[in-house]
Structure 1
Amino acid sequence: MHHLTHKRLTAGLRASASTAALLSALAIAAPAFAQDAGTAPAAPAAAAEAPATGQQDIVVTAQFRNQRLQDVPLAITAVDSMMLDARSQNNITQVAKQAPSVVVVPAGGAFGPSIGASIRGVGQFDFNPAYEPGVGLYIDDVYYATLTGGVFDLLDLDRVEILRGPQGTLAGRNSEGGAIKLYSKRPDANEGGYVEAGYGARNAINLRGSADFKITDTLFGRVAGVFKRQDGFVDLVDYGCARPGNPENIAATRAAGTCTVDKLGETDYKGLRGQLRWNPSDAVDITLSGDYTYQNQTNAPEVTTYSTNPNYLCGRYCTFADFSTKGYNFQHTNQFKGGGGSLNAVFKLADDLSLNSITAYRAYTATFGTDDDFSPGVESTPGDPNTRKEAGGFNRLRHHFFSQEVRLNGAFLDRAVEWTIGGYYSSQKTTYFTLQNIGYIVPGAYLTFMGNDPVNANSKAAFATAIVHPGIEGLTLTGGIRYTKEHKDYTFVRVNPDGSPLSGLAAAFGLGALNGLTAKFDGDRVDYRASVDYRFSPAVLLYGTISTGFKGGGTSARPFTAQQALQGTFKPETLTNYEIGIKTDLFDRRLRLNLSAYIDEYKDIQLPLRDCTAYGGGPCGVVANAGNARNKGVELEISATPTPGLSIDGSMSYIHSRLTTVSAALGSDYRIGDPATFSPAWQASAGIQYKAQLGGNAGSITPRVDYTYNDRQFTGRALGFAYYLPAYSLVNARLTWRNSKEDLELSASVTNLFDKYYYNSMFASVYSFSGTAYQQIGRPREWMLTVKKTF
């Protein structure tokens, strides 16, 4: 059984009152360099190609209406499609590296085709459907309910919005740390599209394209597709073959000279998306969307980094993991196939009244194998051939999700009050099939069981938001409230692989008594948001906010006994956020600087226990509300266009997070004063590009360089001491030529330019039993040549 080692931990910062005072003074003195800061809809901007006159506007919908990014009193990172292209970004983990206080990483092999995500140190890294994400993921306003399948390709996007801080009244479900929202380009009457092809390192092939088409004067369609394939870069090596005559007496399973079994870390991804949009008048706008994704690739690129037996350390880019236990060979690949559809309908009922209905259904199947100890074969020591320290398994998730959201947007008193009321319902079912060997608990014994656990959940919510302009020029008040009611039930299936009742050691530990038991969680929650903002001038907006959010409660997914299952229900963890921020467009809009500072009261944190005395004793598999923390942080985002063609952007964040209370049942895994969240204390990014016109019909050339920095990250005390993933810096570079019509471009890009060796995550859940721990390494230097034709 996997016991999550990535325990959400961070380090942080103290907000500076003097900095806020200085910027407030700047706000009062700033000249009116910006354009009118009204909330009227505007076209999305091309931030990557900002003109000499200043920063382009990006329109966001974070408050359920079209608003300029600089008018929204929230900490938001918004990236449009042109910036995504300029940075060579095609999945959400890449975008996250350049957003302050955001961590999104591909999950390790133990968690299959999923992601781990946190914002301001609050999130989730365990895929199990018993646990909820702490960061809300949305595609075209449709909530994505699980971390599995979350490595989204950024296919045919208009923009990405990353909302930092709790979105309990707006995004709602499990958006305790924040929300990541992806918005697709919509079909319209402007027929066109593009095709793009790329080839790069390790036989990388990247094909993508989209096309708009006009069916009638009021009906439009759009299709988009992507294909990505690349070889892996971590050798999966047969230990007995590579080291014949080894002291552990592990036999070879492959012939000499063919010791490499496969390469971990490969990419094999295919996606297709289609939309139909009916827009017969200004009063009706209906979009039907459908998408499908297929992924079939080797597991995450991981290597053994700690072992009490040094022979098991293979090297920087290889591993001896064999994905097998006695009698079972598990796959070292993961597959994901799934998709969904949504119907987004907007009806304008009056000049200041509109109705928005969003209906969605999604389903997927994901399978993956794991080698939790990441050691080779069955270990047999001289004199004790039964000594074994192994853990691993096979997993399959079948998931179905339905949601319905309705919003009514309106205004009155000559738009002095803008309001939204709405309701939300979702229902989901996940069946988690697993074949697990947990024999590491008793060396020499194989405790193997089969599970096929149905997990049902539903959520109901009602919400309201009001934006009030009280008549004082520049002043806006915002209030929001949301009531949520949730249910979850988890039924345990624990039988032998042949379906017969468990016996022997498995029964003695209590696993057999779990079979057929159902654990339930029911709860409700009220969240609120109160915000005041004041526009000192068209160039400067100052805001202050108090808001709340939560991550849903649930049941312990990996109990060892019936008592742990029935008593292992935990309530939601909650967060109250106090935040101030300033947004500026200065020097004739050539400089945009946004700054926010916050304090979070983080309570009832859901953590895995080490001591289950209160749950009947024995091996412990309980998650409980076992700690509180206080987080303090500051975030800075900057973009500038100092001269024609030159664009500069950057960000910085610092978070200081410490546990203030911890349960004694956590054992030595946590201590008061430890970081409470999985996030680096410091994060930073910077990018610069210059578009140079070559003259005549020669077109233009644009070099770009991007830099990102991640401070060290606390991962817990699972190795017997406080362990941190080391800090690292990455540099990416891109050179793009465009023809004079700008409908053809050629580019050469390099990611991880200096070939930095770094870690994304660690898995050490069975270290105390197996003596091994392993880590996922980041992708090495990679190059790509791309040609893109727009039509």
Structure 2
Amino acid sequence: MYKYLVAFLIIFLIHVSAKAGEIDTLHVKQVDLEEVVVRSFKQNKSFRNTPISVSSISNLNIQRKNITDIKDFSATIPNLFLPDYGSKLTSPVYIRGIGSKTNAPGVGLYVDGVPYFERATFDFDFNDVDRIDVLRGPQGTLYGKNSLGGIINVYTKSPFKYVGTNINLSAGNYGNIQAAMSHYGNVNQVFGYSVSANYRHTNGYFTNVNPDPTASDKVDKANSASERIRLSWRITPRLDLHLVSNIDYSMQGGYPYAPYDEQGNWGPINYNDYSSYERFMSTNGFTVDYKGEHFFLNSQTSYQYFDDSQRIDQDFTPASIYFTNQTQKQHMFSEEVNVKSPGNTMYKWLFGLFASFQKINREVAMNYMQKDSITDKFYKVPAFNLAFYHQSTFDDLLVDHLSLSAGIRYDIEQVRTRFNFYSDAHDRVSTTMDEKRSRTFSQITPKISLQYNFTPERMIYGTVTKGYNAGGFNTSFLLNEDPAFDPESSWNYEAGAKLAFLNNRIRTEISLFYIDWKNQQVTQVIPGLGNRINNAGKSTSKGVEASLQSEPFRNFNLQISYGFTHATFKEYNKTDKISYAGNYLPYVPSHTFSAHGDYTIDMHSSFLRRLILSAQYTGAGRIYWNEANTASQSYYGVLNGKVSFVTHRFVTFDVWIKNATDTTYDAYYFESGGLKLAQRGKPLTFGANLALNF
């Protein structure tokens, strides 16, 4: 049935595009909407004319939507969902139902070309961000690891594009304070430099009622700070060098989990041991860009280090039952080289090589206080990855305006683990274990797409792509279990269109997708130990995505997006007697919806230049929280707003509000040791910003 819908969509879009051509004769002002951006290096064409479902958000829209971190993007983009987990340790990202909250992410993140492979690195404060691209659907052919669901590319500001000094101060209720400074400069557009720093504090939103003075404060209070240095050289008109170095530190309390009953009522947060999460992260990237007459070359060398510590009252009760302390250290090196055609010919090509080494040392110490038992586990998990890939694009194939793009990638990855276990029980009988294991995975991931351009601004496309995530080893498992889990793979079938009307005053995108998913890596909770990965049999995800961007009249911008996902297990036997076949996948909203509008009022004043009114509504749901589908969050919506006063000189003053209707909803839910626990979404918050631009 779904294949017939895809075929119908293509026929319908051809008809609509042909009719739309009649509008071209009207004398309408050409409009270039703000969120349209240029291509990335791996794309031979602009995103506007590429057979990929992609959403791009510019720096201006980041400001007007008051986006301060990656979780603020949840539901603002079709079928993108980021549950607000209790700490930065885990930042699950789901696109079209694909994601992971325990193992390596199912959605990849790159910042200035540097890959963020570990889930504990995803949640960072946004500062000096120029634009963000979200590519939906498997991107394994060009990006490989962790791109089964899609890719998020974050680009920071270039000193060749921005010049000057910016100071931003923000304050709000619940003790929300943020201060940021950045400076950009260049010498004759040959040598550019920038430095930025950011500090953020919150008193927290939720209180632990436990009388223990170490745990009675706000459980989610947090402090974070970061700095970034960027140096850019234009050695010659053809050769550019870029060096980016970033340091990020955060310290937060945790976790705001409260007992939760079947009627959807929260109990008080009440546990006796103070919990926290602390992280230090350093990310560095060196980029070489060379534009020759016959080829372009891009080289990206990167290194990322992080060191974190999680302390958690694992039982979340006033009793002293479990307490766990987990520490991690990661070293990640990567090198990627791309060579592609200049892009001005009918045949375009790209070759790439990627190599990485990632090593994580993890220690998990659990104190089982009721039995006077202590267990200490040590894990060393090195992983080696090597990939070769190619993509060719043929324009005007057979007939004018018809393009064919085909790509293929070969990945090989070796994952090793060394596991040391020590247990000391109350009877002083100790247990030790020392194991070494290794697994090697390899996969070929092809992609083929066909697109037809009616005009430079109107095209339809169809794409077939294979997605893949390697297997690995669990760091939480029972001693009589095999800690390994298998790879997962998917085939993604997609048809869509990108259309513009009224000389680009209105732009729309629509796509249908169907994902056939095998050996899905699912998360299971082991009480007192944590989470482990298991493989389900088969799953499917199908849905639709649509977006509209327009300027219906002068100074008013409107953006609307909608996503529908129907993601279910086809085959999944939890035990011999329990089957979840037909159940919805957890953490996947059936609907995501976003509507944003901003209106600029030109002021005829010697002091005030512009008044900008912005409002945004985002909604998501229904969301099932477990594989059994016994707990869920119905559809809910959050309303945000912002008013900006822009002066004639260098001052901008904003007042903002988030969750203006104080909507109550579940942001996260899980079950552990017979307990049902949930985290509420953030309540109504408001504040003001002051920006100075010199």
Q: Confirm or deny a common fold (TM above 0.5).
A: yes
Is 1:89 the counterpart of 2:82? The answer is: no
Distance in 1 separating the partners of 2:428 and 2:574: 29
Match of 1:784 in 2: 687
Indicate yes or no: 2:36 matched with 1:118.
Answer: no
CA distance in 2, matches of 1:273, 1:585: 38
Structure 1: how far apart are the matches of 2:464 and 2:415?
A: 29
Which of 693, 704, 713 is the matching residue for 2:614? 704
Match for residue 299 of structure 2 among 357, 360, 364:
357
Distance (whole Å) between structure 2 residues aligned to residue 610 and residue 260 of structure 1: 25
Matching residue within 514, 517, 528 for 1:602 = 517
Whole-angstrom CA distance in 1 between matches of 2:13 and 2:20:
10
Q: Does 1:101 align with 2:79?
A: yes
Instruction: State how far apart, in whole Å, the 1-side matches of 2:499 and 2:92 are.
Output: 32
Matched residue, 1:578: 493
For 1:347 and 1:123, the matched residues in 2 are separated by: 35
Match of 1:210 in 2: 182
CA contact (8 A) 1:220 1:278 kept: yes
Matched, 1:151 2:123: yes
* Candidates 419, 431, 445, aligned match of 1:492: 419
**Deviation for aligned residue 1:520:** 2.3
Q: Does 1:345 align with 2:295?
A: no
Deviations 1:158-217 (A, max 9, x none): 100111000010121110011111011112276313111111112221111211123576
Give per-residue Cα distances to partners, 1:215-269, cap 9 Å, x unaligned.
576221011111111111211122xx4xxxxxxxxxxx55xxxx97210222311
How far apart, in 2, do the equivalents of 1:230 and 1:401 lie? Answer: 31
Residue 270 of structure 1 and its aligned partner are, at CA, apart by 0.5
**CA contact under 8 A between 1:726 and 1:759: conserved in structure 2?**
no
The answer to whether the Cα contact below 8 Å between 2:525 and 2:671 also exists between their aligned partners in 1 is no
- Following TM superposition, by how much is the alpha carbon of 1:33 offset from its aligned partner in structure 2, in angstroms? 6.8
Deviations 1:13-55 (Å, cap 9, x if unpaired)? 99565454333211122228789xxxxxxxxxxxxxxx97352
Task: Please report how far the alpha carbon of residue 150 of structure 1 lies from its aligned counterpart in structure 2 after TM superposition.
Answer: 1.4
In structure 2, the CA distance between the partners of 1:691 and 1:664, relative to structure 1 (3 Å rule), is: closer
Question: TM-score, normalized by length of structure 2?
Answer: 0.93
Task: For 1:541-556, list aligned pairs within 5 A.
Answer: 541-556=459-474
Alignment of 1:637-786 (within 5 A): 637-665=547-575, 668=578, 670-697=579-606, 698-716=608-626, 722-740=630-648, 743-767=650-674, 772-786=675-689
| Aligned residue in 2 for 1:475 | 402
Structure 2 residues without counterparts, runs of 5 or longer: none
Q: Structure 1 residues 569, 114: closer, same or farther in 2, change over 3 A?
A: closer
Aligned residues: CA RMSD:
2.8
How much does 1:689 deviate?
Answer: 1.4
Q: 2:144 aligns with which of 142, 155, 172?
A: 172
- CA drift of 1:740 comes to 3.5
Query: Which has the higher relative contact order, 1 or 2, with Cα contacts under 8 A spaced 6 or more apart?
Result: 1
Deviation digits for residues 534-558 of structure 1 (CA, Å, limit 9, x no counterpart): 1112331101000011122112322
Measure, in 2, the Cα distance between the counterparts of 1:149 and 1:620.
19
SS of 2:51's equivalent in the other structure is: coil
Structure 1 residues 731 and 694, CA gap change in structure 2 (3 angstroms): same
CA contact (8 A) 2:334 2:354 kept: yes
Q: Aligned equivalents of 1:620 and 1:211: distance in 2? A: 43
Q: CA deviation at 1:667?
A: 5.6
**d(CA) in 1 for partners of 2:286, 2:419:** 35
Amino acid in the other structure paired with 1:639: Q
Say if 1:30 and 1:537, in contact at 8 Å, map to a contact too: no
Query: Residue 377 of structure 1 corresponds to which residue in structure 2?
Result: 319
- Return the TM-score normalized by structure 1: 0.82
Superposed CA deviations along residues 646-693 of structure 1, whole A, max 9, x for unmatched, are 11101101111221111353764x511001352111110101111011
Match of 2:12 in 1: 22
Q: Is the 8 A contact 1:595 1:634 kept in 2?
A: yes
| Distance apart, 1:372 and its partner CA | 2.5
Q: Which structure dedicates a bigger proportion of its chain to strand? A: 2
Among residues 438, 444, 464, which one is paired with 1:526 in the alignment? 444
Residue 5 (structure 1) aligns with: none
Q: Deviations over 1:56-97 (max 9, x none)?
A: 462343561464331111000100000000000011111233
2:250 aligned residue (283, 295, 304) = 295
Is 2:449 aligned against 1:449?
Answer: no
| Structure 2 counterpart of 1:700, one-letter code | R
96 and 52 in structure 1: CA distance in 2 versus 1, 3 angstrom threshold = farther
Secondary structure at the counterpart of residue 82 of structure 2: strand
Q: For residues 435-478 of structure 1, give each alpha carbon's deviation from its aligned partner in whole angstroms, at most 9, with x where no partner exists.
A: 11457xxxx63543011211111111001111111353211111
Alpha-carbon deviations, 1:88-125, whole Å to 9, x = none?
Answer: 0011111233011111234335xx53311111111111
Matched residue, 1:625: 535
Which residue pairs with 2:347 in the alignment? 417
Contact 1:28 1:537 in 2 (8 A): no
Report the Cα distance in structure 1 between the residues aligned to 2:429 and 2:141, rounded to whole angstroms.
45
Q: Is 1:227 matched with 2:194?
A: no
Deviation at 1:628? 0.4
What SS class does the counterpart of residue 675 from structure 1 fall into? coil
Q: Name 1:75's counterpart in structure 2.
A: 53
* Alignment correspondent of 2:435: 517
Gaps of 5+ in 1: 1-11, 36-50, 242-252, 324-330, 379-389, 612-618
- Report SS of the residue matched to 1:25: helix
Q: 2:135 aligns with which of 152, 159, 163?
A: 163
Contact conserved, 1:685 with 1:707, CA < 8 A, in 2? Answer: yes
Q: Which amino acid aligns with 2:663?
A: K
* Alignment correspondent of 1:381: none
Asked whether the 8 Å contact 1:169–1:480 carries over to 2, the reply is yes
How far apart in 2 are the matches of 1:62 and 1:32?
33
Percent of aligned pairs sharing the same letter: 21
